[in-house]
Amino acid sequence: MKKKLINFYHWSNTWTGTIVLVLIFMFFIAQAFLIPSGSMKNTLLIHDALFAKKFAYGVPIPHIPWLEIPILPDFRGDGHLIDGPKPKRGDIVIFRYPKSIKMHFVKRCVARGGDKLFVKNKLLYLRIANNDEKTVAFAKKMKAKIVEVNGEKFALNPYMTMHPGVHHDPKVNEIMEFDAPVFNYGPIIVPKNQFFMMGDNRDHSDDSRFWGTVKYKYIVGKPWFIYMSWDKNYKIRWNRVGKTMDELEEDLRNKTLTVAKIDKDEK
């Protein structure tokens, strides 16, 4: 056993060994991504460089980095070598853009297969599994308001309380037509094994309101932690480096509470 470990150590220090280990790491464990847009602001910012946990939702079929060419056939037809837990409501998910699968998007999963939802006046109405009882339980968990529409119960904007990065831009009313999907969408029932994705920067996000739901076969993983971040002036945002998504949200929550306290004291 000791001899095998020594041989493996020496092999791993060769160019071949190093390349193989790096590729295995990128194929099955973690892959680096850069946030290019502000669709997930304020949770994720432009130029946040993060590692994605590739095994969070099963093991996706590995692709050659940058070229995005699959190295194995899709034997199962679901884009994964091994199934895993499916994205939960509220998870931030990395997935292949259904309209151009070589591109990766990062959004929040707001609904799963069987859920009913619609958007009215920019507000998200979500009915869990198209069932009153499950919707009420979910709304209470998320500290969201429960409303009744046409005899059915919906959770109103259920993610805004628990995830402080989710927000609307009041200026959008002045620059977009009222019939745009940002303002009014649906209702729809999300198909089985598919997911409805929305950006936290709700009024500035190209998401499922515009191009539909995401199949499980396109799910890649979830953000793990920020390994580097810089602003538009290329100044490093050290306060974000090394942070997980939960830690970033906790920072946002504390910042929001601090601002609210200052506003209260000034009054």
Task: Cite the active site residues.
Answer: 39, 107
Q: Which two tokens stand for residue 136?
A: 């009420």
Distance CA 45, CA 241 (A): 12
CA 181 to the chain's CA centroid: 20
Give the start-end residues of each E strand in the chain: 30-34, 48-53, 58-60, 63-64, 69-70, 80-83, 92-96, 104-112, 116-120, 123-127, 145-149, 152-156, 184-189, 194-198, 214-215, 219-229
Distance CA 42, CA 51 (A): 18
- Please provide the DSSP assignment of 25-61 as one string: IIIIIEEEEE--SSTTTTTS-TTEEEEEETTBTEEEP
Closest CA to 114 of 41, 168, 191, 179: 191
Distance CA 156, CA 144 (A): 6
Residue corresponding to tokens 């971040």? 229
Q: How many CA atoms are closer than 13 Å to the CA of 166, on its beta-carbon side?
A: 20
DSSP code for 88: P
Could you give the maximum distance between any two Cα atoms of the chain, in Å? 72
Closest CA to 249 of 170, 161, 169, 176: 161
